[in-house]
Amino acid sequence: MKKLLFLLLAVGLLRSPGALAQVRVQHLRCENLADPIGLDVARPRFSWQLLAAKDRRGVRQTAYEVRVATSAAGLAQGKAAVWNSGKVASDSSVNVTYAGPALQLNRRYYWQVRAWDEAGKPSAWSAPAFWQVGLLAPANWQAAWIGPGYTEDSVRRPSPLLRKEFKISKKITSATAYITAHGLYEAQINGRRVGDAYLTPGWTSYNKRLAYQAYDVTSLLKTGANAVGTTLASGWYRGFIGFDRTHNIYGRDAALLFQLHLAYSDGTSEEVVSDGSWQTSSEGPIRFAELQRGETYDARLEKTGWAQPGYDARGWTPARVQNYAKANLFASFNEPIRAHETFKVVKVTKSPKGETILDFGQNLVGWVRVKARGKAGDKVTLSHSEVLDKRGNFYLANLRSASAEDTYYLRGTGQDEALEPHFTFHGFRYLRIDAYPGAPKPEDFTAVALYSDMPATGSFSCSDPLINQLQSNIQWGQKGNFLDVPTDCPQRDERLGWTGDAEVFSSTAAFNRNTNSFFAKWLRDLAADQGPNGAVPFVVPTMPFTQGKDLVGAAGWSDAATVIPWDLYTLFGDRRTLAVQYSSMQAWVKYIQDRSRNDLWDTGFQFGDWLAYDLDDDNAGRSAVTSHALIAQCFWAHSTQILLDAATVLGKTADVATYTALLQRIKAAYLREYVTPGGALMSNTQTAYVLALHFDMLPENLRAQAADRLALNVADYDNHLTTGFLGTPYLCQVLSRFGHADVAYKLLLQKTYPSWLYPVTMGATTVWERWNSMRPDSTFAPPSMTSFNHYAYGAIGHWLYTTVAGLNVGAPGYHTFTVRPQLGGGFTQATAALETTYGSARAHWQTSGDQLALDVTVPPNSTATVYVPTTSPGSVREGNRRLEGSKGLQAGPAQDGYLPVQVGSGQYHFTTAWAPKATAALAPR
């Protein structure tokens, strides 16, 4: 019996009397990933979280120990044969860098952690985690680039099939497949799909950086005969991308690079590689596949068993070996695109034109799985659209040259045939059935959402259902546009990585999902595509219309080079990305400086406050158009401030002095050129005042009156916003910061055009590109540029999380944070929850009569300052106790309508007397 109890305790099924009080270590991550395969990082970073009993407070890590071995058994025996950090006195539990011997390619390493708490008590060792090293350097590729051994159809370009048979005569201990392509690929081994990712290898600036993926395929192999088969498609590499029917940007030929590493039980290894012995065919079922133009699939041409050993490949042609570069190869470290939510049909309608239209209830990005039964050659044609026109007809004009159509030809098996695309995607809510054998049944159609598999981290909800729908729209706008790169829109002939959209939305995106690796990868392409003059292109990966020796940058767009690395540092604690991008950040600021005159950036092209509300004929003499030069000066200051902060973090003392002096000159020039002695701005617009205040362009003595002018401008437009892409993200933040939270709430809750809720009232399920993409009479803005899934205006999400709910980052990665909600808008409750790098943080407030409850969760190894909204500090209780009787907190003096309380980790329940009329006083001036 004693032995059984000991075993149960050892595996954690029972807990000893003191186990609940002991800290545990969990959620081990290597380079932000759980047990990653194929990393080519020489010094990977480790992160972990502490777990403590729910009723325990103030848990801190005071030391840690990491150990690494080449087997899990070695760790269990305490034999860290590779590296042991020893006990390190530190509270660091995020991005702790491996400091052991050089790593070996194709080797799997196991690691675990233990931590000491604030009382000096050690935890047990964590469960083991692992990471597997990839090829480490392009020189370790033994495979050759291969392509079809026949002349391809240059118009339709059917998807090539490539196959190889091989034998395994020894016992395998592990097998890793490394794959990439010029174009897109799907691979099979012995007839089974390799991995669950789609649209691989993703989109990068291919000629400079091409990702490869690594897969553990041990379970797909067997002793004896085996086979591998891959299907290629044009994808971003040579397909139609961008607008103006642009294609063949990176090359004209599809190609494959494949290397299978086999490790045997006798200690030997073998490589199966792509070479001239592979066989190729153009006669596969995918007859046409383009990201913007849909897919045509002929099931009659399916080659049963073609990716299995023993297949009769007579008529196939030998692969052509190609001399393509390998120096641009790197191992993927960002999450791949995967299939996620599925949607059933919620409504079937007949349009006035007689069209059969299926409504899935949600604007999403992906494709439709369809079941159909019929004769061989029977046709299924499906078209995709985001909206219906005011009469209920299918609307496609806003897609421009994109063709959102998939076509299938049935095999004719006599049974239901399940069909879906492989190498395309669509932005849609509605499906039009253009061809179908028999009467379609709604249950035979399923919409599938595709997006990069970034972990969901944040949520927001409140007492207003329209705001909750807005939050849903923001999240779906992000999902649909985060397909390996942050695209502007997913439906028309564009779908590009516009830097301006990404820059304004990055902090909101980082709350919804863990975007650390997603953006870190994209930023490296940004730096790779940056011009020699320091200009950052408007889209990344870059396109022909932004290339050339005279590459130019623009305020608010090119500032993605500085803003997003800083967001990754502050929100995730990613110091390495900040260091990697630092030279790119410097080059961008120098580009501006080189084009300035008398410390003013008033030359060159600018987008300005893109898509701001504009009045063609305003007899009141008002204008919502902001000077492009004024905007540029503000963003120059903003990027310089970020660069100054980054230099401070990275210990670059000389640069700190340089950028401090530069920032002073930029702001002085701004005051001379754009501000009157009385504090009025040259452009009397909401965006002008928002940027001046948010970027601290004005001296302290002019800020309050500038905020008042902003509030008056909002009132002058009957409590409507007039801002565009660059002013909108900061509008409510500035109003709240400078004492006008009531105005911010009025803007948030405005339901008529232009406003955030106007699209919601019109039935939107994603964020629109324009405030009036659909007009109040249900007609559309010009189809030349109207998207119903554009995430940029969803940047209001940042204010919802940080101000309405009050959850705001302090030290990098939320090592410290604040909870300071600004109540208003008639809301009776709001909640923000976030899975930070340290664990779960949460802020929830609720009012009932004259009482306010504020609940806060602080993860272990973090601390927070909670600002309890109250004008009666003596009424504040925590857990029904007076503050001085509550463990783990310390209250300070009340200020600006708040009582600040310092808390350690744990769960806290504050209550206080609350007066709704005092809400406006809770925003400090």
Which two tokens mark 150? Answer: 């026949």
Identify the pLDDT of residue 3: 43
> 213-248, pLDDT tens digit by residue?
999 999 999 999 999 999 999 999 999 999 878 899
Question: Is pLDDT at 621 greater than 60 in this prediction?
Answer: no
Q: Which residues contact 767 (CB under 8 A, 6 or more apart)?
A: 473, 474, 477, 759, 789, 790, 791, 792, 793, 794
Instruction: Return the residue matching tokens 């991005």.
Output: 95
> 327-367, pLDDT tens digit by residue?
999 999 999 999 999 999 999 999 999 999 999 999 999 99
Q: Residue 390: pLDDT band by 50, 70, 90 thresholds?
A: very high
CB 384 within 8 A of CB 405: yes
Report the run of H or E that residue 590 belongs to, with start and end.
helix 575-594
Cα angle at 76 between 173 and 102, to 5 degrees? Answer: 65
Identify the pLDDT of residue 508: 98
Identify the pLDDT of residue 624: 85
- Give the catalytic positions in this structure: 494, 769
Which two tokens mark 851? Answer: 């009482």
Q: Which residues contact 282 (CB under 8 A, 6 or more apart)?
A: 148, 150, 152, 153, 158, 160, 161
Identify the pLDDT of residue 21: 63
> 128-171, pLDDT tens digit by residue?
999 999 999 999 999 999 999 999 998 999 999 999 999 999 99
How many residues are recorded in the chain? 925
Q: Is 570 helix (H, G, I), strand (E, B) or coil?
A: helix
CB 407 within 8 A of CB 379: yes
What is d(CA 916, CA 896) in angstroms, rounded to the nearest whole number? Answer: 15
Question: Is pLDDT at 1 greater than 60 in this prediction?
Answer: no
Neighbours of 879 (CB within 10 A): 14
**What CATH code would you report for 458-614+621-804?**
1.50.10.10
Which two tokens mark 888? Answer: 């783990």
What is d(CA 523, CA 574) in angstroms, rounded to the nearest whole number? Answer: 13
What is d(CA 174, CA 189) in angstroms, rounded to the nearest whole number? Answer: 15
Angle between helices 465-481 and 741-749 (to 10 degrees): 80
Identify the pLDDT of residue 58: 96
Identify the pLDDT of residue 618: 42
The pTM for the full model equals: 0.95
Q: Which residues contact 57 (CB under 8 A, 6 or more apart)?
A: 887, 888, 903, 904, 905, 906
The rounded percent of the chain whose pLDDT value lies above 90 is 91
- 138-292+301-331 adopts what CATH topology? Jelly Rolls (2.60.120)
Sign of the C-alpha dihedral computed for residues 306, 307, 308 and 312 taken in this order: positive
Helices and strands per DSSP (H, E), number in the chain: 16, 45
Which two tokens mark 153? Answer: 């159809």
The CA radius of gyration of the chain, in Å to the nearest whole number, is 29
Half-sphere exposure (CA, 13 Å, Cβ side) for 223? 7
Beta strands in 683-752 (DSSP E): none
Which two tokens mark 708? Answer: 């008042």
Higher pLDDT, 3 or 51: 51
Q: Which residues contact 362 (CB under 8 A, 6 or more apart)?
A: 343, 429, 447, 476, 765
Question: Is pLDDT at 798 greater than 50 in this prediction?
Answer: yes
Identify the pLDDT of residue 616: 46
Identify the pLDDT of residue 615: 57
Question: Is pLDDT at 749 greater than 60 in this prediction?
Answer: yes
CB 818 within 8 A of CB 802: no
Identify the pLDDT of residue 884: 85
What is d(CA 704, CA 153) in angstroms, rounded to the nearest whole number? Answer: 66
Which two tokens mark 691? Answer: 């940027």
- CATH number of 811-913, picked from 2.60.420.10, 3.40.50.360, 2.60.120.260, 2.40.37.20: 2.60.420.10
Beta strands in 62-202 (DSSP E): 63-69, 83-84, 96-97, 108-116, 129-133, 145-147, 161-168, 172-182, 184-189, 192-193
Mean pLDDT of 477-487: 98
Q: Residue 18: pLDDT band by 50, 70, 90 thresholds?
A: very low
**What CATH code would you report for 24-133?**
2.60.40.10
Mean pLDDT of 827-845: 98
Identify the pLDDT of residue 840: 98
On the question of a common fold for 24-133 and 138-292+301-331, the answer reads: no
Mean pLDDT of 845-855: 96
Which residue in 505, 457, 499 sits closest to 767, CA to CA? Answer: 505
Higher pLDDT, 748 or 888: 748
Kindly list the domain boundaries of the chain, sorted by start residue: 24-133, 138-292+301-331, 337-452, 458-614+621-804, 811-913
Question: Is pLDDT at 862 greater than 70 in this prediction?
Answer: yes
Q: Which of 12-21, 157-166, 295-304, 535-544 has the lowest mean pLDDT?
A: 12-21
Identify the pLDDT of residue 167: 98
Which two tokens mark 474? Answer: 């923001």
DSSP result, 636-652:
HHHHHHHHHHHHHHTT-
Q: Is 123 helix (H, G, I), strand (E, B) or coil?
A: coil
First-to-final CA distance of the chain = 68
Domain 337-452: homologous superfamily in CATH = Galactose-binding domain-like (2.60.120.260)
Question: Is pLDDT at 391 greater than 80 in this prediction?
Answer: yes
